[in-house]
Structure 1
Amino acid sequence: MSIHHLFFNSVVATLLWCGVAAAQTAELDSLFDRLAQADPSEAEGIRGQIETQWSRSGSPAMDLLLRRGEDALADGNPALAVDHLSALIDHAPDFAQGYSLRASAFYAQEQIGLALDDLRTALELNPRHFNAMRGLAVILQQLDRPQEALEVYQRIRDIAPHIDGVDMAIDRLSVELDGTSL
Structure 2
Amino acid sequence: MKSSDIDQLLNNLQQADEFARHRATSQLWQIWFEQKGEFGLELLKRSQFFLESGDTQKAEEMLTETIKNYPDFAEAWNRRAMLYFTQEKYQNSKQDCERVVQLIPYHFGAWHGLGLCLLALGQYSEAIQAFRQALEIQPYALVNQKLILECTALLN
What is the TM-score when the length of structure 2 is the normalising length?
0.88
**C-alpha spacing 1:78/1:42, structure 2 compared with 1 (3 Å):** farther
**Corresponding residue of 1:156:** 134
Q: Secondary structure at the match of 1:73?
A: helix
Given candidates 121, 126, 146, the residue that maps to 2:99 is 121
Q: Aligned partners of 1:123 and 1:30: how far apart in 2? A: 19
Identity %: 26
Q: Aligned partners of 1:24 and 1:168: how far apart in 2? A: 34
Q: Aligned partners of 1:74 and 1:25: how far apart in 2? A: 34
**Corresponding residue of 2:65:** 87
Q: Aligned partners of 1:81 and 1:28: how far apart in 2? A: 30
**Corresponding residue of 1:6:** none
Look up the equivalent residue of 1:58 and give its one-letter code. K
Deviations 1:87-125 (A, max 9, x none): 211221111111011111122223223222211111111
Given candidates 35, 39, 59, the residue that maps to 2:37 is 59
**Residue 50 of structure 2 is aligned to residue 50 of structure 1:** no
Query: Does the 8 A contact of 2:12 with 2:20 survive in 1?
Result: no
Q: Aligned partners of 1:77 and 1:168: how far apart in 2? A: 33
Look up the equivalent residue of 2:40 and give its one-letter code. M
Count of matched residue positions in the alignment of Structure 1 and Structure 2: 156
Look up the equivalent residue of 1:130 and give its one-letter code. F
Q: Aligned partners of 2:53 and 2:16: how far apart in 1? A: 33
- Residue ranges of structure 1 left out of the alignment (5+ in a row): 1-22
Q: Aligned partners of 2:128 and 2:90: how far apart in 1? A: 19
Larger radius of gyration: 1
Look up the equivalent residue of 1:162 and give its one-letter code. Y
